[in-house]
Structure 1
């Protein structure tokens, strides 16, 4: 049987390969920067992983899919993004202020951040700003545009929402385990990240735009960064 006569099979194989080449990358970066090689080497590996996440979907689209890049700019769903973002910001900030700051082992977190060389206030603010404005957009582009699309080729669109959210949650679980020594925080944080991934995938699917998921993701990350600044800078 020639695969060339079955384009659907070729497309599915391509999607499997694409997912294998991108889904583990964030977990590798998280493990290296926090557990396996905390410090300069781990950070360099994490940066390389970030560059791969940024470039691989573009190269795959051009060289393998041989399709034009979907640079369509649309404002569809911005209201949903703002409303969802406001809800996420309020929930995360209230959860940290009322519960999280008492459950977290703040001295241990500061020690781990110091070990990574990220304890300079300017660096803390710079990294937090990058995470909020840029990394949230990169994550939407990777997980809601690229990963979700390939999941939808292998499963149904409805299942792809949940599976892509599960993939998105993996590296966050690693970070939660590293920085939280309370299993309750790990469990609640993992559920929250998975739930957010489901909502963002549904937004991208419904509006066919990354804008609503990006806006709400930005708001959620802003709340997390405010909590981080409070922990690290007091």
Structure 2
């Protein structure tokens, strides 16, 4: 059987708790023309000194991004998995016009709730602090969405693993390490308060040293077979390990 017929998973945390995606929006600075980044103070009424400074939202944002990258490296235990990624930044439309606002998004990934709270607290502290030292208004922080942790119940994971090994063969099932990818499957078990098991299976024929495209890549396109059959067999084996196959009277 090729790589695409393999299934893998693990007991305990399987996928990270979130992403918590927080959008930091500096609501208002002062806009102006690129020729006078310090502002046109000579045209302002008293107090002239204060009016002469444009609050450029791109400047504190740049400091925020640099400082946010120190949360994982400087504020968390080195053995604690966490990710803080700045994925987007939008400010201004033209090179000679200073914008009055800037917006960026963060992707935050953790396994444990207490680590999530620590990271979110650090994000808000850094964003607010960098805006204050830059003389910018207090930023608006909005949560876009969040996912719970996708946790494999150890006892149930062992049961499903045995069923998958019996169905697919010992050499085609492996136990993997937790991954930082998110999965909304965690909502299902949490909503009804039951244990759950999540596993993955391959979908590519790879040559040695070749890496499969990730699922957000435009090149992601699993081969149809035996991927579809393997997934169906794995799902049926997991279900039947609970339902049984004996006919009911």
TM over 0.5: no
**TM-score (ref. length: structure 1):** 0.24
Structure showing the higher strand proportion among its residues: 2
- Indicate the structure (1 or 2) with the bigger Cα radius of gyration: 2
**TM-score (ref. length: structure 2):** 0.23
